[in-house]
Amino acid sequence: MVNSAVANAFIDSIKNLRFGLVLMFGVAALISKTVVKDALVPAQMDWLADAGLLAALVALLIPLPADVHKQRLYWLVAVAIICLTVMLVIRATLFEEQGDMRLLVGTTLSATGQAMASNCQTKDPSALPHWPRRDLVFKCFGQDDIPTAYGMSYSVMAVVYALSYLCFILVFVIASGRAIERR
């Protein structure tokens, strides 16, 4: 009896899903796993593309009235634009790339990171403090040592980036799905 009640509730909730939200979930899922993963997700946070799928799925479960006022949609669009802007600023300033490898770094080296950099084997040790960040990341640290090398500044940027990414996906699915339904 309980299983049939749960099944009926599940079927009823699926019937109540609006076409626009389901369509935008599909679009967000496709974008999150392909385009966004290749362009916006750093290598050490590759789990973020899968988390984006979960955020899009959560957007389907958030109950909003069918007749959402335009002003609320504008607020959702504003939140999406803010999240996207934060992501793009971090992407432009704190990503280092070499070939297909994209790595998120912090804003400043920690004391451990400075020691790691000074211990890095180079042909010209006197030039080390003047190396560009890209050279330090790919010649001295690598993907696994970045959190240690940049310490708290990396952790803060990783959390801000992840939250902005997930919030953008969530709000994008909700706002665009509701906008499609209004038409």
Token code pair at residue 123: 């042909």
* Single pTM value for the model: 0.76
**Total structural domains within the chain:** 1
* φ, ψ for residue 46, nearest 5 deg: -65, -15
Residue with structure tokens 């049939």?
4
Q: Which of 126, 122, 152, 153 is nearest to 136 (CA)?
A: 122
Instruction: Kindly give the pairing relationship between strand 101-104 and strand 95-98.
Output: antiparallel
Burial class (CB in 10 A: 0-12, 13-18, 19+), 124: exposed
Question: Domain of 145?
Answer: 2-182
SS3 109: coil
Report the pLDDT value the prediction gives residue 182, as an integer from 0 to 100: 56
Residues 126-153, mean pLDDT to the nearest whole number:
82
Mean pLDDT, the chain, integer = 78
Q: What is the pLDDT of residues 6-36, one digit of tens each?
A: 666 655 555 555 565 666 667 766 766 666 6
